Amino acid sequence: MSQRGEEDMFIRRTQPQQPPSQQAVKDEKTDKKESPPAVPSDGKEQAAQPSSEGSFLKRILREEFQWEDDRPIGDRPKLSREERALILKLRGKVHSRVIADFERGFARGIDMRNTEQVRPLVERVCTEISEQEAVALTAKLRQVLIQEVLDEINGFGPLEAFLSDPTITEVMVNSKDRIFYERGGRIYLSDQQFDSDEHILKIIDRIMSPLGRPVNERTPLQDGRLPDGSRVNVIIPPLALKGPSITVRKFFRRKLTIEDLIRFGSLTEKMAIFLWAAVRARLNILVSGGTGSGKTVMLNVLSNFIPPWERLVTCEDAAELQLYHENWVALESRPPNIEGEGAIPIRELVRNALRMRPDRIIIGECRGPEALDMIQAMNTGHDGSMSTLHSNSPRDTIYRLETMMMMVPGMQLPQQAIARQIASAVDLIVHLSRLSDGSRKTVSITEVQGLEKEVVLLQEIYAFEQKGLDSQGKVIGRHVCTGFRPHAADKIKEQGIEIPEDLFVPG
């Protein structure tokens, strides 16, 4: 069995050493005198030396994590605390004056949606506000102030700098003055800030209103997407105790291919060839893994292998998939309106998709009763369907699938019937993981072999073996072939698809 990169950390607890007990006072029976304690030659008493365990404990308790990012965000220079405080002081005033001038007709002929037309107005107002506040701005700070005001007018405010930086993969707003971002698999605290909670709510409204998904006290949490397809989750008080929170998971602007994943070390050429053959042979595939492990990216890449004449129908809660396919119909669920009516869950989309003459059905993520509809679709002629779900291992994927199928209201399916349907429907499980250094790996490709009593049988074909970490904290490991020739190889051959003879040979 291969390692999964997860090691248990054992902490040895040791009892503190007691100081040596004092020698008993003079025994009245023997009338012996107590020997005097040893005194150093210099006459000074030596302090007790701490144990090695105690020194180690003190060191780890005093350990400081170095997690500052010296790189700028996009084309914005990195600011000191004083410089950021000055920008915050002026940004709201400049923005308010620009909007007021436009509303009072002082900016006639200017299209506020055109950044180049608005820029001269913002530059003039910046100069006026700086003079009124008696603040001398350097050229660097002036450009930062102008750009951030433009972001407020035609963008998503403080989020805009992160969205324009291709090296940043995720943005997390914890509160108005705590904006974190992920870069290279590591999370950092930025110097960017919102003016207030109301400022965050305004940006949330700007994101969600075009989607018809209002966020208010009645619906304080919502999923959505940005114009470029990036996924957004928002939650506001009273559920968010520290103020409104925004989480943005960005998508690569350039569509990734299987060659990119091989170059990143996510999988090997043998694994890529096998997945290509599995998709072309119309095997049903589940892509599993934890949060941020790259499931959606893998699903997008696998769609590259589907012949262009096949009709795809995708069903998602929030549209994230960016399939590389021409004959594709994308469906998105709908939350209830402000009266609590009109909700269209994924289950309804899957049922409707069956009537749309699909060759394959792809569900963005299974997280509830729609798992039953997906499995039934796989078992009723829609071979080659795919989906993703959260799990910690291929075996956990089966367990979660069984649990979700039991969540169907009004249906009491026996365990054996559920396991039988899963074993009949699912062919492969591609499990991904985000490792400790932030890298994303395909840690297992597992075949579903069948059923033994009520247990779904699994056999691993490819795996990732982690050996440890190098001096830079990077994971050391390699992908290996287990040497098992899967039953899927026969299905692939039956479809007339040729694969190398050594595809399943270790080494």
For 4-25, how does the pLDDT look when each residue is reduced to its tens digit (9 = 90+)?
444 443 333 334 444 444 444 3
pTM of the model: 0.77
Q: 46 in a domain, yes or no?
A: no
pLDDT band at 32 (very low <50, low <70, confident <90, very high): very low
Residue 27 lies inside a defined structural domain of this protein: no
pLDDT recorded at residue 229: 82
**Whether pLDDT at 397 is above 80:** yes
176 and 319 part of one domain? no
Give me the residue label for tokens 């119309």.
282
| One domain, residues 291 and 358 | yes
Residue with the larger pLDDT of the pair 191 and 252: 191
Same domain for 265 and 244, yes or no, is no
pLDDT, tens digit, for every residue of 94-130? 999 988 888 777 767 777 788 888 898 889 889 999 8
Three-state DSSP state, 12: coil
- Specify whether 128 is located in the same domain as 211: no
* Pick from 20-24, 231-235, 347-351, 404-408: least confident: 20-24
Establish if 265 belongs to a structural domain. Answer: yes
Same domain membership, residue 161 and residue 137: no
CB 312 within 8 A of CB 305: no
Does 324 lie in the same domain as 239? Answer: no
DSSP conformation class of 412? -
pLDDT tens string 236-247: 999 999 999 999
Mean local confidence (pLDDT), 215-232:
88
CATH of the domain at 273: 3.40.50.300
Please tell me the distance from the alpha carbon of residue 452 to that of residue 412, in angstroms, as a whole number: 22
Domain carrying residue 319: 258-504
Helix, strand, coil in percent for the chain, rounding step 5: 35, 20, 45
**Overall domain count for the chain:** 3
CB-based contacts of 389: which residues, under 8 Å, 6+ apart? 286, 288, 365, 366, 367, 371, 397, 400, 401, 404
- Predicted confidence (pLDDT) per residue in 63-100, tens digit: 555 667 888 888 888 888 898 999 999 999 999 998 88
pLDDT at 37 over 70: no
pLDDT of 224 > 80? The answer is yes
Specify the higher pLDDT residue, 30 or 261: 261
Alpha helices in 379-483 (DSSP H): 394-405, 415-425
Answer whether residue 30 is part of any domain.
Answer: no
- Rounded Cα gap, residues 332 and 116, in angstroms: 35
Contact 174, 185 (CB under 8 A): no
The CATH number assigned to the domain holding 231 equals: 3.30.450.370
- The reply to whether 35 falls in a domain is no
* pLDDT at residue 22, as a whole number: 43
Do 349 and 270 belong together in one domain? Answer: yes
CA distance 109 to 187: 44
The greatest distance separating any two alpha carbons of the chain, rounded to the nearest whole angstrom, comes to 112
3-state class (DSSP) for residue 411? coil
Is 466 in the same domain as 392? yes
Asked if 265 and 188 count as a contact pair (C-beta separation under 8 A), the reply is no
Percent of the chain clearing pLDDT 90 (strictly above): 48
Give the position of tokens 């966020």. Answer: 215
HSE (CB half, 13 Å, CA atoms) of 419? 15
**Does the pLDDT value for residue 26 go beyond 90?**
no
pLDDT for the residue 356: 93
Report the alpha-carbon distance of residue 115 to residue 117 in Å, rounded.
5
Determine the pLDDT at residue 59: 66
> Where does the pLDDT of residue 482 fall: very low under 50, low under 70, confident under 90, or very high at 90 and above?
very high
Handedness of CA 88, 89, 94, 97 (dihedral sign): positive
- Determine the pLDDT at residue 324: 75
pLDDT interval class at 3 (50, 70, 90): very low
> Does residue 179 have a pLDDT over 90?
yes
Same-domain pairing of 389 and 415 = yes
390 and 476 fall within a common domain: yes
Residue 483 pLDDT > 60, yes or no? yes
In the chain, % of residues over pLDDT 70: 87
- 66/78 Cα distance (integer angstroms): 17
Domain C-terminal end among 96, 116, 151: 151
3-class SS of residue 440: strand
Last residue of a domain, one of 253, 282, 317: 253
Asked if the structure places residue 13 within a domain, the reply is: no
Phi and psi for 149 in degrees, rounded to 5? -70, -40
On whether residue 51 sits in a domain, the answer given is no
The answer to whether the beta carbons of residues 226 and 163 sit under 8 Å apart is yes
**pLDDT tens across 225-235, in order?**
898 888 899 99
Cα torsion for 355, 358, 360, 366, to the nearest 10°?
Answer: -30
| 426 lies in some domain | yes
Average pLDDT over residues 339-348: 84
- The answer on 263 and 236 residing in a single domain is no
Closest among 33, 2, 84, 114 to 464, alpha carbons compared? 2
Residue that finishes a domain, picked among 151, 174, 204:
151
User: What pLDDT score does 178 carry?
Assistant: 93
User: 82 and 226, same structural domain?
Assistant: no
pLDDT in tens, 423-447: 999 999 999 999 988 889 999 999 9
